[in-house]
Amino acid sequence: MTSLAGLSPPCTSILIFLILFGCATPFEMQKVEVPQYKVRGARAELKCLYHLGNATLYSLKWYKGDRQFYQYIPGSNITKNTFIVPGVNVDVNESDAVSVVLRDVELITSGTYRCEVITEAPVFYTKFGEGNMTVIDLPESAPVLKGAKSSYQLGETVTANCTSPYSKPAATLEWYINDDLVSQPMYLIRYEPQKEPDGLETAILGLTFVTNRSHFPRGEMRLKCVAKIATIYFQSQETSVIETGFLPHTQAEESRHSDHFYFFEHATLGHRLITEGMTGTEQKQQQKLQKHSMEPDVNRMVHMLHIPMLMTFGLILTIQVRIMDSGYLFDQVVHAGRVDERTRRYKSRREDERNEGELVSSCEPAHPLRYAHSPRVPKVHTGFRKGRDIKPDEKMNATNEENYCVL
């Protein structure tokens, strides 16, 4: 190793200068912040974070690709300066030695942005960092579903398309069946994004599959399409279709005690028809679906066994209530008959007394039913005068005679 004594004086001075200033200037680029996504027409702020240490800033420059569009030189008469780059609109008033602000970003604003920091003489250290920004033009509407019918039979083929119109970049589409993501390639039909005249794109994703019992857990199937663009856009569209001929809970098969295994037989037949014409890989996929589709059949059979028991219990309860109602009505009829019989007997006795010439009291009740509930029949007594008792053989005046009724 060469010692400092062996060097000439000019070389020694330069070496000492480099050592001293190199150690005393911990200049570093800390981070460059460029927003990853921005919506068309929005405002974007790009930041260049650096640490000068003991050094002095000579200039800060921003580039889009290889083209400079902004510089900041604190020692110059014009501190801020901009350069024309298509799609880059700098807001000079809000830009400074750390950040640059872009207004009204456009689709062509997307690209790679680089920040360059240079320290003052005599060394002129240079550091730089970069980041990518993508400007997004959001779709005009939520995804559009086409091709799906309102109802399907078991074993019928479903074919539908999901379209997310006019965006940049094209939206990423996903299909869901009853909230389960469809990931099997055999069920998806992928199309290349359609190019629109204004530079936008339309995304389309098709769906095709054969229905089975697992698709209609309660006689209904939900199809949903989700459109996503990065982390700033998420929209979905959903539609519901029903199983043709499905009768919820009251279907005729549930009342047939001898047909409890109807659904198993029907599902097996449907699965056999579905697997015909498939390759070995497709048949394995379908067999997995068949295994899961048998679970709703088991639940349905258990449900069918409970229905007759509930119906029998309800029938017994109804018969008991009707018997109680019949007994009550019977008691009312018997009671009314007894009332009629007592009234008839009472009238017959009164008629007999009149025929025999007996004295009939003037206090005869106007309503015979008043005494119908009592086993005692009103008796007419005479032989009392107001204020005192008289003997039975004493002659009574008609004016003092008073008849009264005793129960």
- Of residues 33 and 5, more confidence is placed in 33
What percentage of the chain has pLDDT greater than the value 70? 58
pLDDT for the residue numbered 300: 57
Mean of pLDDT over the chain: 75
Query: Above 70 in pLDDT, residue 96?
Result: yes
Phi-psi region of 92 (alpha: psi -120 to 50; beta: other; left: phi over 0): alpha
Region 56-78 average pLDDT: 93
Region 145-246: CATH code: 2.60.40.10
Q: Where are the domains of the chain?
A: 26-136, 145-246, 251-338, 359-406
pLDDT digits (tens, 9 = 90+) for 108-158: 999 999 999 999 877 788 998 999 999 999 998 999 999 999 999 999 999
Return the C-alpha torsion angle 339, 345, 347, 350, nearest 10.
-140
Strands (E), 26-88: 28-33, 37-39, 44-51, 57-64, 67-72, 80-82
Region 53-63 average pLDDT: 91
Residue 367: pLDDT band by 50, 70, 90 thresholds? Answer: very low
Report the range of poorest mean pLDDT among 52-56, 119-123, 160-164, 403-407: 403-407
Q: Do 26-136 and 145-246 come out as alike in CATH topology? A: yes
Given this structure, which CATH class describes domain 26-136? Answer: mainly beta
Residue 396 to residue 278: CA distance in whole angstroms:
123
Query: Above 70 in pLDDT, residue 67?
Result: yes
Residue type at position 378: P
Contact 396, 390 (CB under 8 A): yes
pLDDT for the residue numbered 327: 58
pLDDT digits (tens, 9 = 90+) for 227-281: 999 989 999 999 999 998 876 654 444 444 444 333 333 333 344 434 444 555 5
